[in-house]
């Protein structure tokens, strides 16, 4: 079974690379130092599924105000799921400014546990349906940086972050 889980993570990493999304793999006890090396200050963020002062190590402002969001160069959020087939991440909103934190700054760093990478969209919807029953009212499915070519040339950052970086915590 470990091989199957490893294959799913490998497919996810391949999909991220095709989308021009950076990914750094680490283990939980090194996550703070790794996050600090990725972010560009000032940094805003929300709670993460990782112990050990990860956000404090990177000097992340929690519960950002509108002014904090406007000034931020990086937003750090948890990703609930990664979808291997597409390189998509699922960002749940619990009313803690997660959506704004993931969309407003030019760089979004999504922190994801390897055990939360699922193979396909059907698996993602199965997981999400349980969280919606538990009270999650909103989730964003994000696939790569924001981009549009509606008016001609490709423009990044038109509707969200210009760049995305996944911090993948190996917990399997």
Task: Report the predicted TM-score, pTM, of the whole model to 2 decimal places.
Answer: 0.92
Beta strands in the chain (DSSP E): 22-26, 43-45, 60-62, 74-78, 81-83, 88-93, 107-113, 117-118, 138-142, 147-148, 155-156, 163-169
Which sign does the torsion angle of CA 124, 158, 40, 45 carry? negative
pLDDT of residue 164: 97
Q: What average pLDDT does the segment 86-112 reach?
A: 91
CA angle, 140 as apex, 99 and 148 as ends, to 5°? 90
Domains recognised in the chain with CATH numbers: 2-169 (3.40.50.10420)
pLDDT of residue 94: 67
Query: Three-state DSSP class for 156?
Result: strand
Residues 27-43: tens digit of each pLDDT: 999 999 999 999 999 99
% of residues, the chain, pLDDT over 70: 97
């Amino acid at each position: 079974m470990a091989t199957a889980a490893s294959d799913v993570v490998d497919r996810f990493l391949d999909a991220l690379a095709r989308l021009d999304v950076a990914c750094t793999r680490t283990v939980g006890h090194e996550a703070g130092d790794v996050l600090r090396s990725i972010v560009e200050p000032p940094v805003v963020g929300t709670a993460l599924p990782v112990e050990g002062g990860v956000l404090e190590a990177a000097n992340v402002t929690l519960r950002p105000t509108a002014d904090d969001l406007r000034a931020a160069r990086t937003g750090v959020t948890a990703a609930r799921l990664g979808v291997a087939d597409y390189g998509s991440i699922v960002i749940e909103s619990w009313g803690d400014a997660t959506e704004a934190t993931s969309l407003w700054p030019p760089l979004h760093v999504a922190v994801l546990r390897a055990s939360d990478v699922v193979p396909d969209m059907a698996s993602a919807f199965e997981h999400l349906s349980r969280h919606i029953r538990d009270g999650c009212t909103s989730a964003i499915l994000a696939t790569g940086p924001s981009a549009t070519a509606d008016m001609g040339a490709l423009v990044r950052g038109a509707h969200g972050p210009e760049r995305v970086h996944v911090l993948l915590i190996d917990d399997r």
